[in-house]
Amino acid sequence: MAIRKADGRRWVEMEFLVPGTPEQVWDAIATGPGMSAWFTPTKVDERLGGAIEFDFGDGQASSGVITEWEPPARLGYEEHGWNGDAPPVATEVVVTSHSGDRCVVRMVHSLFTDRDDWDAELESFETGWPGFFEVLRLYLREFAGQHAANAVAMAQHPADLVQAWSTLTSALGIAGVDVGQRFQTPSETPELRGIVHRIHQAEELRDVMVRLEGPCPGVAVIGGCAPGGEVRVMVSLYLYGDDSADTAAAEAPKWRSWMAQLVHADRAAT
């Protein structure tokens, strides 16, 4: 969907159908533990005027102020300094009940400016959210309310995205898999095993999503992207259950070490 523009405002909007009651969906999209379970580590001061903070790792973070708070239907917040000297971005999330214990989530990101400088960043919201919302669907369908923890390993890659993606997926044994196929990483890599749930490929964004059975129930997202031409590869684990925190703490350093070795080998080869 193209950027919409009117009266000094430009915005993108998306709608997603997710399982769950409005209360369950609200807990997942408007609380710190809920958002941390499918997006990124998040803190939410659950009130109008409260703070909301997103931790993207590697020292990257964004914070804002809650401007709308109407449980379980409407959340709004405004982030300043989210991307250098960009104007503030206002986000509105609306939850509407749908038949069959499902809800429609409508998300709108708005910039209040007449300039085109930040259109690419605004469009990136539209391309980035669908993958996270697929994790949200799995979380709500199978793990809602469980303890959650995540582990992320990310690194810049010296090659272009095509080569970086080929290197990553080949090393993990996931190149050429299909949705519904059982998958397990080779013995020389950290453990991932489960069923392939989603495959997505676009010019600047690729990912394979696995519904995990081990090392802990959850979701793994193996991804590659090239924002602004800077190629990055990553493995993100969303783990659920009573052992999720201990498993995440044990697995995170394994994946970071493995990712560093993978990228170092490719740098040495170029």
Give 10-residue mean pLDDT values along the chain (270 residues): 77 93 96 96 96 86 94 95 76 94 94 76 80 96 95 92 94 95 96 97 92 97 88 96 97 96 77
> How many domains does the chain divide into?
2
What per-residue confidence (pLDDT) applies to 51?
Answer: 97
Phi, psi of 94 (to 5 degrees): -120, 130
Same-domain pairing of 167 and 129: no
Residue ranges making up the domain that contains 265: 148-269
Among residues 143, 169, 203, which one ends one of the domains? 143
Phi, psi of 9 (to 5 degrees): -125, 140
CATH number at residue 135: 3.30.530.20
What per-residue confidence (pLDDT) applies to 167?
Answer: 94
What per-residue confidence (pLDDT) applies to 139?
Answer: 97
Alpha-carbon distances, residue 52 vs 49, 79, 80, 135 (angstroms): 9, 9, 11, 21
* Cα gap 173→194, rounded to integer Å: 13
Same-domain pairing of 136 and 18: yes
Phi, psi of 114 (to 5 degrees): -95, -5
What per-residue confidence (pLDDT) applies to 270?
Answer: 62
Same-domain pairing of 139 and 9: yes
Same-domain pairing of 91 and 194: no
Among residues 114, 143, 172, which one ends one of the domains? 143
What per-residue confidence (pLDDT) applies to 82?
Answer: 67
Same-domain pairing of 105 and 192: no
Cα atoms found within 13 Å of the Cα of residue 65, Cβ hemisphere only = 6
Same-domain pairing of 82 and 159: no
**What is the biggest distance separating any 2 CA atoms in the chain, rounded to whole angstroms?**
57
Strands in 4-6's sheet, in edge-to-edge order, are 4-6, 9-19, 102-111, 89-98, 74-79, 60-70, 51-57, 42-44
Contacts 24+ apart (CB under 8 A), 251-257: 251/151, 251/190, 251/191, 251/215, 252/151, 252/152, 252/153, 254/190, 255/151, 255/152, 255/153, 255/190, 256/153
Same-domain pairing of 203 and 153: yes
Same-domain pairing of 82 and 162: no
Same-domain pairing of 64 and 111: yes
